[in-house]
Chains A and B, each alone.
Chain A
Amino acid sequence: DTAVSQTPKYLVTQMGNDKSIKCEQNLGHDTMYWYKQDSKKFLKIMFSYNNKELIINETVPNRFSPKSPDKAHLNLHINSLELGDSAVYFCASSQDGGNMNTEAFFGQGTRLTVV
C-alpha cells in the first residue's frame, strides 16, 4: 500500500494552461503539505493544511491554490502556468503532533514541465 500517492507522475503542458495535481494519503494523518523542488534540488514548502487552518508560504503566487475535499486529500491547482513553474512537486503528510517527531512522509513527486 502506498502511504502518500500523487498523480500524475509526469505532466507536460503549455504556458497559460490550468492544471491540477492530486494527492491522497492513507496514513490517517492530520496535516498535508505541498513542496516544490526546483532544478537545484531546493525543497521549498508551499502550503501546510489541516482541518483547522491553511498556512501559505507568502512567496507562493496566488495562481497556486490547494483544495482539500477531505482529510485524506489535498490537491494542488495551478492557474495560468508559467515556464518558471516547471519543477517537481511533492505532496507530504504528517501527524499533527506538535513540534515533536512530526516526520513527513512524501509522495513520489510530480514532474511538471511547462513548455
Chain B
Amino acid sequence: QKEVEQNSGPLSVPEGAIASLNCTYSDRGSQSFFWYRQYSGKSPELIMFIYSNGDKEDGRFTAQLNKASQYVSLLIRDSQPSDSATYLCAVNNAGNMLTFGGGTRLMVKP
C-alpha cells in the first residue's frame, strides 16, 4: 500500500509566524510531490510542486524535499489568517495518479 502521511492537526500559529507542514511517503519510486490547499467546502487548489531534492520557493511558500528520508514539507512565511485551510500533500506514483495524505488543518490566529 503506497501511503502518504500527514499530521491532521490542527496546527495553530499566530499571524506573521512561520507555519511548517510536514509529509512523509512510503513509495521510494515517487517522482513528484505537490502541496494543495483546500478551504472548507471548496475544492483543492495547487500551491506548488517539487521534484528535485532541496528547496523551492514561491512567494511566501517554500517546499522542501528530501528523497532519502522520504520527506516533503511546506513552509509558509508571514502567515495570514487567510492561509487558514487544510493543506494536502500529494505524491505522483506510477500510473500518473496522485495519492493524497489526509491533510493538515492550519489555523492562523490574528
Q: Are A and B co-members of a single complex?
A: yes
Closest residue of chain B to A48 (Cβ to Cβ) is B97
Chain B 68-110, CB within 8 Å of chain A: the 1/0 string?
A: 0000000000000000001010101011111110110000000
Main secondary structure of the interface of B (DSSP, over half): strand
B66 touches A (CB below 8 Å): no
User: Which chain A residue lies CB-closest to B88?
Assistant: A43
How long is the Cα–Cα vector from A63 to B100 in the complex, in angstroms?
A: 23
Residues of A within 8 A of B34 (CB): 103-104
- Where chain A touches its partner, the secondary structure class is loop
A108–B43 contact, CB under 8 A?
Answer: yes
Q: Specify which chain A residues have a CB less than 8 angstroms from the CB of B31 in the assembled complex.
A: 99-100
Contacting residues of chain A (78-115) with chain B, CB-CB under 8 angstroms: 90, 94, 96, 98-109
B97 interface neighbour in A33, A42, A100, A107, Cβ under 8 Å: A33
Which of the 9-residue segments B18-26, B44-52, B57-65 touches chain A?
A: B44-52
Q: How large is the interface on B (under 10, 10 to 19, 20 to 34, 35 or more residues)?
A: 20 to 34
Q: Which of B86, B96, B97 has the most CB of A within 10 A?
A: B96
B45 touching A55 by the CB < 8 A rule? no
User: In the bound complex, what is the Cα–Cα distance between A105 and B43 (angstroms)?
Assistant: 9
A101 to B97, CA, bound (A): 12
B32 contacts chain A at the CB level, 8 A cutoff: yes
Specify which chain A residues have a CB less than 8 angstroms from the CB of B98 in the assembled complex. Answer: 33, 45, 102, 104
Contacts of A102 on B, CB cut-off 8 Å? 32, 92, 96, 98
Spell out B's residues near A (CB within 8 Å): 31-32, 34, 38, 42-46, 49, 51, 86, 88, 90, 92, 94-100, 102-103
A sample of 6 cross-chain residue pairs with beta-carbon separation below 8 angstroms, ordered by A number, consists of A40-B102, A101-B49, A106-B45, A108-B42, A109-B42, A109-B43
Closest 8 pairs between A and B when the two form their complex, measured CB to CB: A99-B31, A106-B43, A43-B100, A48-B97, A42-B102, A103-B46, A55-B95, A45-B97
Known: A43-B103, A90-B43. 9 other contacts (CB 8 A): A44-B100, A45-B100, A48-B95, A55-B95, A98-B96, A99-B32, A102-B92, A105-B46, A107-B43
